[in-house]
Amino acid sequence: MKPLSEQSKRRVNWLNDGLWPWLCAACVALSLLMLAALLTLLATRGLGHFWPATLEEVTLTSGDIVIGQPVRETPLPLNAGMERLYFTGNRDINGANWRWIAVDDISAQTTPNDLIRLERTPWGDFIGRLVAVESDGQRLTGQAAWDYITTALAQPASQQGSSDLLLITADGHALRQPLSNVSHFQAPNAMSWGQKVTAWGQNVWRFLSEGPRAANTGGGVWPAIFGTVLMVILMSVIVTPFGVLAAIYLNEIAHQNRLTHLVRIGVRNLAGVPSIVYGVFGLGVFVYGIGGSIDNWFFSDELPSPTFGTGGLLWASLTLALLTLPVVIVATEEGLARIPDAQREGAVALGATRLEMLTRVVLPMATPAMLTGVILAVARAAGEVAPLMLVGVAKLAPQMPLDGEFPYLHLERKFMHLGYHLFDTAFHGEDVQAAIPLVYATALLLVLIVLVLNLTAIFLRHYLRRQRGNEC
């Protein structure tokens, strides 16, 4: 074989030392770019929904007047121009919240400061003008009426009194609206930039702190946030000890033979089982099996209405713990396998028992690996939806799993989950168009919650590593 020339050697060295590092760096950069693009899309579409959008008064060539919020424009077929989608509200009057208008049919468009937008129940948003406010025999108009509404909505509903808003739509339809059914009042065209920023922050806070309404197309997601975090915490408390003990047995106690090898293969294969299969298992074993038996033994007076024999927080947490158990086992066992045998032999040689060697030497060194398994388990469990649909998640939970009533934590209750709320809002809402911004906002919130939970575990892992380093 002929020796390589100097030019060939330089080419080989460049491939070995230059190409692969750059290729790896490019893949990392592409991954970060894709992640940044995803977060930017979710933040723009989701958080932009809470900005007080300008309302337009549009006059058509036919003479009709339309008031609404412009949403987007799309081309008409056969290059016939563009059409614009407006959110017009007033579903109780017009029968729909949306209207497509051809741009060529618009003869004039303005943004008057007296246009208002009300959030109300049960008919959703009203867009139009405020004529007057009638309260206790008094009739208020102009700025006095606006000030009265703003002050009244800041008070509890029991203190608002019996006030009615006299409203008028773009086509002249008059409407009497009880103030008690109005949850939010806004005149976006008359607001300054600073007022809009303040209103945006208030809208975001309402989204985070209130419950859903209007078939999940309005209101907030606080019950879903609470249910998601509580379920993930319970799942972590359940899966961590079982996963760690199983890994300790497989790596430190069990004889390393063919059976142990088959068990490891089985554990790794369980990590690839579709999540809906775990949901079916949880429904059959946890809900109908164990839960039904508990009802027969302890809650027979409540039958046929089940207490534990139906989906709830406990069964959902157990199902997801079973789903993420292989992840914790594999991560912990890999951490245990990386610990040199000299550490174990040195502890035993110094007189430590096998239990002391495990608890004082091996486990502290493997703690970062255990937390890595928990981090991966949290990331997967927080986003799972399919198994929860069978074992306890609800579209709307009338009661929170945690309250001030003994025993305070009610494991048998159904709960809301951000992932299922996202799915239900996107596909089962009455108004899909109105739900799109909420879908983006909920998705962004779910990503942020998973990120916060993971960062908490990561910081704990680094803290334990530093503590271990200081002890050494």
The pLDDT of residue 342 is 87
pLDDT in tens, 212-252: 876 667 778 899 999 988 999 999 999 999 999 999 998 88
Domain ranges of the chain: 51-201, 222-471
Neighbours of 126 (CB within 10 A): 23
Residues 257 and 271 sit within 8 Å (Cβ to Cβ)? no
Count the neighbouring beta carbons within 10 Å of the beta carbon of residue 17.
10
Percent of the chain with pLDDT over 90: 26
pLDDT bracket for residue 1 (50, 70, 90): very low
pLDDT of 172-224, one tens digit each?
A: 889 999 888 888 888 999 999 999 999 999 999 989 988 887 666 777 889 99
3-state secondary structure of 352: coil
Can you tell me which residue has the tokens 């089962």?
A: 428
- CA 321 → CA 247, 250, 318, 386, distances in Å? 15, 19, 5, 14
Amino acid 5: pLDDT: 57
- pLDDT for residue 28 is more than 60: yes
- Per-residue pLDDT, 151: 83
List the one residue out of 291, 279, 277, 237 whose CA is nearest residue 420: 279
Residues 381-402 pLDDT 10s? 888 888 988 998 888 877 788 8
**408: closest CA among 399, 417, 416?**
399
Which residues, in sequence order, are bridge partners of residue 128?
116
> What average pLDDT score do residues 78-87 get?
87
| Fold classified for 222-471 | MetI-like fold (1.10.3720)
Model pLDDT, residue 218: 73
pTM: 0.83
CB 209 within 8 A of CB 298: no
